[in-house]
Chains A and B, each alone.
Chain A
Amino acid sequence: MKKQPSSLRLYIALTLLLIVLPGSAIKVYCGQQGVQAIITQAGRSVSAAPAADAAGGLPANLVQVHATHNGQPFWTETRKDKVRRFKCSQCHDNSTVTAENAAAVAHGDMVLEHGGAQKPLTCFTCHKEDQRDFFETQKGVVIDMDHVDELCGQCHFRQKRDWIGGAHGKRVGNWAGRRVVANCTACHDPHSPLFKKRWPATYALPLDKP
């Protein structure tokens, strides 16, 4: 009868050990998952948004994009106010345009290199012929110049999908709060969209390490 308390104690100690050891092992293992685990466990976060919006720095003249990402709206810079001599219909009013030195006054400097040699684009692939203030898709949908993504997206649908999500293109202003992104034509010249070769802005000194 005297032995029983000590064996009971031993039993309790062993049981505790059996619970604690695997428990701590699991905890250590979970800790090793690191940032991936933190990301998957993360819920909806909103606290950063007001701080970022207070910082300002957003461009003026924004227009809401018709598409949404995860149901969240986002904005882009307007385009029409940055096009010189908009409205186009001031000259192109469905009559023959007659101007002296027309090439110098209007679009003589324009180089059209879009679509490659196999499928070269012409002016009216994008511009609407009878309403020059607008674009027209291949299916005949009239598009406002501020929503140029809807025009480019008919061919470049992969880029548009990434642009809506945020993997293509460039966010303007803040990383949180109201999401403002650059539109297609902010970076790409629509008439020759490939980036031109140029010299880098700076250079790096040789170091002993790569």
Chain B
Amino acid sequence: MKPLHTPPAATPPKTCADARRRYGRRDFLKSAVQAAALCGAAAVTGCDPGQIQSGQIGLQWQEYFKKNYRLMTPLEKEATVRRLEQLAKLQRGIDIQIGTTEPVKEVLFGYAFNLTRCEGFMECVQACVRENNLDRASKTQYIRIFEMEPGQMSPESGNGQYFHEVPVDNHFYMGIQCFHCQNAPCVKACPTKATWMEPDGIVVVDYDWCIGCRYCMAACPYWGRRFNFNEPHVPEEEITRKQHYLGNRLRTRGMMEKCTFCIQRSRDGKLPACVAACPTGARIFGNLLDPDSEIRFVLKHKKVFRLKEDLGTDPKFWFFID
């Protein structure tokens, strides 16, 4: 009987075809392309000997050929995180810690916003920008606060660019951000599967798989996504060093980003930065599966509504009034 699998021969490969047979077509092509491109990259960057010596080009190259985050094994996740930390050290000279904390079991994150209590101080916006390393140059903000007149229900009719002493009498304030829809249209729109919903309900982006087509931005009915049209600029001393692969790690040009409920904080049990910063207690965050949680109390005892509920997006973000 013929064996199903023959072990590789011990003799060295004589020809290309021989080598291809031994290592397998994919491995062979990969190494060949890698070698060629390494030379190419060195040529393009002007053969900077410092970069080659420090291994920066090699690291960048390995980064370029990594998998989608969801297909990575724990070892591969660990490897890419170490590479990103090394690259940050080489390129920016800063020490960062990138985590890949997995979702906690039996947790589904939910968020509630108290329209009666919000006074429009925008401290949540500031805390969010600092925590999530948002671009200071284009003033990217995940959270938007709208000043609304009584009776208005949609932020489209509110004033999102107010700058005066708040609260103004007879107005209320409505904050919107990514609502982390259970039936998210942005996830369906993505052509490269670079965005998805995690088991704990957080809709995340794999920045390295995003091709920057902005289909998700067009699909989102809540204006929840932000795009880096230019290279984001964060002052070095203000970079949040504790990061998460799917959260606040440093982005580059052409990447889509959005609120992640501060995944680097919430998966460690902490409250998101906006909730922690809110001076009026208008923001409530917790586990929807825990009957004793604050968010469940709000859903049970308060008058809640969700924005554009008729679209069937099923957001996990409720507005309520006292």
Q: How far is the CA of A109 from the CA of B278 in the complex (A)?
A: 27
Give the number of residues in A that approach B within 8 Å (Cβ atoms): 51
Q: Report yes or no: B299 in contact with A39, Cβ–Cβ below 8 A.
A: yes
User: Quick check: is B223 within 8 A (CB to CB) of the other chain?
Assistant: yes
- Would B166 and A198 count as touching, CB distance under 8 A? yes
Residue B292 interfacial (CB < 8 Å) = yes
**A168–B281 contact, CB under 8 A?**
yes
Q: How far is the CA of A140 from the CA of B287 in the complex (A)?
A: 40
Q: Does B104 contact A (CB under 8 A)?
A: yes
A209: interface (CB < 8 Å)? yes
Do the beta carbons of B289 and A45 come within 8 Å of each other? yes
A69 contacts B281, C-beta separation under 8 Å:
no
B298 touches A200 (CB 8 A): no
Tell whether, in the assembled complex, residue B126 and residue A174 are in contact, meaning their CB atoms are under 8 Å apart: no
Cβ of A38 < 8 Å from any Cβ of B?
yes
Residues A210 and B290 in contact, CB atoms below 8 Å apart: no
Interface string of B150-182 (1 = CB under 8 A from A): 000001111011111111000000000000001
Q: Kindly identify which residue among B280, B296, B312 contacts A187, using a CB–CB cutoff of 8 Å.
A: B280
Closest A residue to B140 using CB positions: A205
A29 contact set on B, CB distance < 8 A: none
Within 8 A of B (CB), among A158-189: 158, 162, 165-171, 173-177, 182, 187
Contact stretch, chosen from A11-19, A47-55, A92-100: A47-55
**CB pair A48 B104 closer than 8 Å:** yes
Within 8 A of B (CB), among A6-58: 32, 34-35, 38-39, 42-48, 51-55, 57
A39 B296 Cβ-Cβ under 8 A:
yes
Contact between A210 and B121, CB atoms less than 8 A apart: no
Nearest CB of A to B189, in Å: 17
How many angstroms between the C-alpha atoms of A123 and B280 in the bound complex? 26
Chain A: minimal CB distance from B192 (Å): 24
Q: Which residues of B contact A182 (CB under 8 A)?
A: 281
Q: Which residues of A contact B105 (CB under 8 A)?
A: 47
**B233 CB–A CB distance under 8 Å:** no
Interface assignment of A204: CB less than 8 Å from any CB of chain B? yes
The distance in angstroms between the C-alpha atoms of A203 and B322, with both chains bound, is 27
Instruction: Give A64 to B59 CA distance when docked, in angstroms.
Output: 52
B301 lies within 8 A of A170 (CB): no
B223 to A209, Cβ gap below 8 A?
A: yes
Contact mask B310-322 → A, CB, 8 Å, 1/0?
0010101000101
B271 within 8 Å of A by Cβ? yes
Q: List 24 A-B contacts (CB under 8 A).
A: A34-B183, A38-B289, A42-B288, A42-B289, A46-B106, A55-B270, A69-B297, A162-B301, A166-B286, A166-B295, A171-B284, A173-B270, A174-B270, A175-B275, A187-B279, A197-B167, A198-B121, A199-B165, A201-B123, A201-B126, A202-B122, A203-B122, A210-B155, A210-B160
Give A residues with C-beta under 8 Å from B: 32, 34-35, 38-39, 42-48, 51-55, 57, 69-70, 72, 158, 162, 165-171, 173-177, 182, 187, 195, 197-207, 209-210
